[in-house]
Structure 1
């Protein structure tokens, strides 16, 4: 009788471990940009533009003023004057300042027609060149000119204390050159237009950026440096010296980039953002401890509106691809503020995608509702002729990833290029080079697996109610499944059958419980894997891990503290043969030991 009692006790203990609750696959054609109902929008994030647009979720418009309308005479300031810049009519400072809405700001200062008329004679300066719109510019690095600009900034942001205004989300600085983008390629190279050596120019630059940080003090996180990142910030000087953007960020500023529409080009090695090329593998490193990324108050911006504008042309067949990849690139860079234009950014056309982007902006590993990896291999053509960095496969860069990594690993998990080849997306401008979207298994060489690794701050240990969404190409007859772990047992999901429709599908698996502890397979130590169980290669494009319920930041046990009626409720519906076999073996062992 005591043996039966022991057996019953063992069965009672074992029951919770017999069932591994996973449902799916649920299939839908195309991409799946669903956002869990519990997800919230990050405070310091948003879509911004010249004007607000409720229908496009753009709730931060611009506050634009020219230096000459604020400072018409030396040491004299006024708030009722208007100005015209680039055919844009700027209302007076007082009129714009009467709003109750949030805004971002530009003070246009370097243009001959933007600066006060008195500044040229007072400082004995003139135009140093024209930008591509034909506007002439003054040398803001001239000590006299910069001294007066600094006075103006001090007056507006210290004397009027506008730096502390909660409506002011950020300001583009230093407010110089075309569209306030601090890029001298528009007026000639630095060494020509400044007449300075790198050392003398850098001396001015470092002090000038520190001046702005000092003026803003505890609000310096509202400053957004507009110069381009490495290696384009200083033309005709060695690339090793092109770290002005990084230096501005190091002083406490935020940053923006205006060219993520060209999502493959010049966006791999961008140290100001904390993104660099891993020269041993060809993947991208993302430095979460970089001050810009680790401080949620800092502004990380970019602009994505020039698909069929700004001189660019994208064929209708490639618009969604260009919009998707440029904004995914922005997220991979850690962007929290995204400049969009409702029409030319195609916001209403791809509303589900932009909704996902809006909720994703500004998320850190421990606050994100999902982790994702875009599997690809794409040329960064900038590096085709630059030898300052080298890596395997150069100039190709592997993947775009946030909190989820796919890595090729010896022992069966090496992948090859996908079948989807993209090139010439922007008509005659081929800066994008060639992209191979998706990765394939390579079963001919014994590689039937893709290995995935979650950021431990996103999720580590056993967590509840998780979805894994896999977008694949229905390319050729095969099968695949997800190998995962729960209760220290390695399990397999139901297989997805791949056909020949040449359509993209997203398969969703819902896990009541899943374990992420880097130990799915000996030798690879992945958190989960996609296994090709068919006879032909499979092609995977995008993988997302979604928390169906909120998990407190820093929690690794998976405890739930918030749910909503819109979230999926998953009931146990699949008994794992592996799990049952494991428990039956233990039970048999116990019975034999008692006989």
Structure 2
């Protein structure tokens, strides 16, 4: 969990992506992918570590009439299976909670007690209040794992490093730990050599149970935030040029070690961090991804905040406030990850727990993540089992493989952009973001302009900086907008032939009117409102084509009769498995 130490409110100007604003003397990271290394592991298996199907399979209505239930509906088609190279990971595997991937945690001091010797497979270690068994014992335990090397802390690093390199600790961080300057040439050379011994000599890269490793090994919780870096700059111990030169070298060194498995090395920093270098640091996470690395964020629990404009993930805010996501994942496995466990921990206090859990996961899936860190108790896996099962089946899917496409209709503040524009970009109504969309886009077009509604307002949940969100969008019949319109991504559904689907609409049952769905080939029977003032979900069965032939280039219209309607969530489930 990254906790920003403060807010840098200055306007930023960037001429182009990735380090364009660095000083002329600085060295930009090479973006040339490294070649393969001997003994590299094959691409992970074609099935997930937990390949089980849905615990809550969707039911198909027996007739054309829609079926209505109270509350949300997270069911999935019976054919749905988790995507390869995806899933939940944690400190400990928990098969009953569908968490198959455990951690292997070591400190640098634990495995490299001497400068030139081999790795120590028998010593134990400790960091961040945790005690670690020996590396040998952890590897011998078997089963898929992810790796953390706690390296930068003064209490984590071998004592010979500070003595040999003539450095002392900087800090402390918010956990009370001081850290060695890993940008120091001597310190980094020693750490790089340990990474090579661990990943190559110990053959972790070639281990079929290895999934990924957090890199480069600093700072607090090996999350690459900038508090230690900022402290070093404030004490005149680090310059921008020296930092950027090291950063370029760090990427090149680690990519050279990993070869074609560089996507399994997960850089733990982020774009637009709160550091001391302004524009020069803003897109360094993007530089890592362009270098082939995986990427991870730790703040999707703050689902409105700082993750709208995330170039490292391919997510951009459009002028109308919608988010788009475009990225090339390449042929080799690549990690895009987050951590969703701090709802009532890590200094967070969710006011509406279910709301916080659901929307953190909607954000994670809007970013099209394939790996998600959870803690069964702190993530409340057992309290919301149907929702978490939906998340498990959604991670790592693409438009071509996903069981469903969806849009969460909402208007929310991204307060990290309140005081500054995105460099070189237009964003009307900044900092308000419209919707979270995954292959289903809500479109404003005459007769179907969506309007903000205040029936479900949330503010400062789970943190103040998460801003205010208005969940749901509404029709406004008095203004001529009696419908809501949606466009289906053609990569999810082709134009021909018509595809059997379920469309699930979560709406507020208020008033005495009705609504129906209309598409290129007809319309459905109506759902009558009964004024329960509860959130309900209607399921429609129909054949749908993504031909964009309706007004505004849309495919699906929700038409109201007699009264306005607030809609919170729309999902399209395909009943036929792609490729079958």
Give 5+ residue unaligned stretches, structure 1: 1-20, 553-560, 562-595
The secondary structure found in structure 2 opposite 1:551 is coil
Aligned counterparts, 1:167-182, within 5 A: 167-182=209-224
The secondary structure found in structure 2 opposite 1:118 is helix
Alignment equivalent of 1:30, drawn from 53, 71, 88: 71
The secondary structure found in structure 2 opposite 1:47 is strand
Is the alpha carbon distance of 1:499 and 1:193 closer, same or farther for their aligned partners in structure 2, counting shifts above 3 Å? farther
* Alignment-derived partner of residue 539 in structure 1: 566
Aligned counterparts, 1:413-452, within 5 A: 413-426=448-461, 429-452=463-486
TM-score relative to the length of structure 2: 0.86
8 A contact 1:421–1:434 mirrored in 2? no
* Alignment-derived partner of residue 79 in structure 1: 121
8 A contact 2:504–2:538 mirrored in 1? yes
* Alignment-derived partner of residue 437 in structure 2: 401
RMSD: 1.6
The secondary structure found in structure 2 opposite 1:162 is coil
8 A contact 2:493–2:499 mirrored in 1? no
Alignment equivalent of 2:555, drawn from 520, 524, 527: 527
* Alignment-derived partner of residue 284 in structure 1: 323
The secondary structure found in structure 2 opposite 1:165 is coil
* Alignment-derived partner of residue 573 in structure 1: none
Is the alpha carbon distance of 1:240 and 1:459 closer, same or farther for their aligned partners in structure 2, counting shifts above 3 Å? farther
- 1:162, CA displacement in angstroms? 1.4
* Alignment-derived partner of residue 272 in structure 1: 312
- 1:445, CA displacement in angstroms? 1.0
Q: Deviations over 1:76-125 (max 9, x none)?
A: 13211111212211111111111220100001110001000111110000
Q: Is the aligned partner of 1:159 residue 2:201?
A: yes
- 1:241, CA displacement in angstroms? 3.8
Aligned counterparts, 1:285-434, within 5 A: 285-287=324-326, 290-291=327-328, 293=329, 297-315=333-351, 318-388=352-422, 390-409=426-445, 411-426=446-461, 429-434=463-468
Is the alpha carbon distance of 1:194 and 1:276 closer, same or farther for their aligned partners in structure 2, counting shifts above 3 Å? farther
2: distance between equivalents of 1:419 and 1:549? Answer: 38
Bigger radius of gyration among the two: 1
1: distance between equivalents of 2:233 and 2:530? Answer: 59
Q: Deviations over 1:246-268 (max 9, x none)?
A: 01111111011111101001010
8 A contact 1:322–1:425 mirrored in 2? no
- 1:419, CA displacement in angstroms? 2.9
The secondary structure found in structure 1 opposite 2:100 is strand
* Alignment-derived partner of residue 514 in structure 1: 544
Alignment equivalent of 2:300, drawn from 260, 278, 285: 260
Q: Is the aligned partner of 1:96 residue 2:138?
A: yes
8 A contact 2:261–2:333 mirrored in 1? no
Q: Deviations over 1:119-167 (max 9, x none)?
A: 1110000011111110110000000000000111111112222112111
1: distance between equivalents of 2:304 and 2:362? Answer: 11
- 1:373, CA displacement in angstroms? 0.3
1: distance between equivalents of 2:142 and 2:281? Answer: 43
* Alignment-derived partner of residue 234 in structure 2: 192
Q: Deviations over 1:482-516 (max 9, x none)?
A: 00123xxxx111111123211011100112x3322
Alignment equivalent of 1:251, drawn from 291, 294, 301: 291
* Alignment-derived partner of residue 42 in structure 2: none
2: distance between equivalents of 1:358 and 1:339? Answer: 11
- 1:47, CA displacement in angstroms? 0.5
Is the alpha carbon distance of 1:98 and 1:437 closer, same or farther for their aligned partners in structure 2, counting shifts above 3 Å? same
Is the alpha carbon distance of 1:415 and 1:426 closer, same or farther for their aligned partners in structure 2, counting shifts above 3 Å? closer
* Alignment-derived partner of residue 87 in structure 2: 46
Is the alpha carbon distance of 1:194 and 1:99 closer, same or farther for their aligned partners in structure 2, counting shifts above 3 Å? farther
Alignment equivalent of 1:242, drawn from 268, 282, 288: 282
Alignment equivalent of 2:489, drawn from 455, 464, 469: 455
* Alignment-derived partner of residue 16 in structure 2: none
The secondary structure found in structure 2 opposite 1:320 is helix
- 1:390, CA displacement in angstroms? 4.4
Is the alpha carbon distance of 1:142 and 1:483 closer, same or farther for their aligned partners in structure 2, counting shifts above 3 Å? same
* Alignment-derived partner of residue 568 in structure 1: none
Q: Deviations over 1:310-367 (max 9, x none)?
A: 111123xx11000000001000001110001111111000000000000000000101
Structure with bigger helix share is: 1
Q: Deviations over 1:538-573 (max 9, x none)?
A: 111100000112121xxxxxxxx2xxxxxxxxxxxx
- 1:425, CA displacement in angstroms? 4.3
- 1:194, CA displacement in angstroms? 6.8
Give 5+ residue unaligned stretches, structure 2: 1-61
* Alignment-derived partner of residue 5 in structure 1: none
8 A contact 1:131–1:187 mirrored in 2? no
* Alignment-derived partner of residue 230 in structure 1: 271
Q: Deviations over 1:159-207 (max 9, x none)?
A: 2221121111000000111110011225644633673332331111011
Q: Is the aligned partner of 1:129 residue 2:171?
A: yes
Alignment equivalent of 1:475, drawn from 503, 506, 510: 510
Structure with bigger strand share is: 1
Aligned length: 515
Q: Deviations over 1:288-329 (max 9, x none)?
A: xx23x45571001000101111111123xx110000000010
